[in-house]
Structure 1
Amino acid sequence: MNDDDIAGSDGLIAITMELSTEVLEAFQSTGDRWEERINAALKDWLKHHNPSDVKI
């Protein structure tokens, strides 16, 4: 299955994920469309970083 099989017409895929309270509250405090801001922040981060480099 590729992204075209599950993505909506807007190119977004609905998922369930866990965020820290700190991150969630920071984005929710920005008001409506906070979920879109999380996506925008992650897309911007990907321009300069590689997810596999994140140490967890």
Structure 2
Amino acid sequence: MERPSDQHIAHRRRSARDCPRAEVSTVAPPQEEARKRGPQKAPRKVPLSIRLFPEIVEAFRASGPGWQQRMNLALLQWLSANSPTDVALPDRRGQPRKTQ
């Protein structure tokens, strides 16, 4: 490979000096922008924080990927045959409450 001539190097330096410096853009190029999801096609689910007994969570997690969906479907099946008001809530000691 040949070494560039002094004349060639001088021309390159002049060209670099004469070129305006590129402005630094603070806007991310389109491919780097955060991608946003569009509206959901199916009915939306409600994000919820809930406290469950560990054995319930362990059983559903042990069923593998999709365990949260299975838990949701299990609740839907239960609701089709029952009412939440049918469940007797325990008192503070864990005993069933007496109905009045």
**How does the TM-score come out when normalised to structure 2?**
0.46
Percent identity over paired residues: 33
* Equivalences, count: 49
Residue 55 of structure 2 corresponds to residue 22 of structure 1: yes
Q: Summarize deviations over 1:15-49 as a string: whole Å, max 9, x none.
A: 00011011000000001111101100000000110
Residue 76 of structure 2 corresponds to residue 40 of structure 1: no
Residue 88 of structure 2 corresponds to residue 55 of structure 1: yes
Name structure 1 gaps, 5 residues minimum.
1-7
**How does the TM-score come out when normalised to structure 1?**
0.79
Report the secondary structure of 1:17's partner residue.
coil
Question: Runs of 4+ in structure 1 displaced over 3 angstroms?
Answer: none
Question: How large is the RMSD of aligned CA atoms in angstroms?
Answer: 1.3
Greater radius of gyration (CA): 2
Indicate the structure with greater helix content. 1
Which structure has the higher relative contact order (CA within 8 Å, separation 6+)? 1
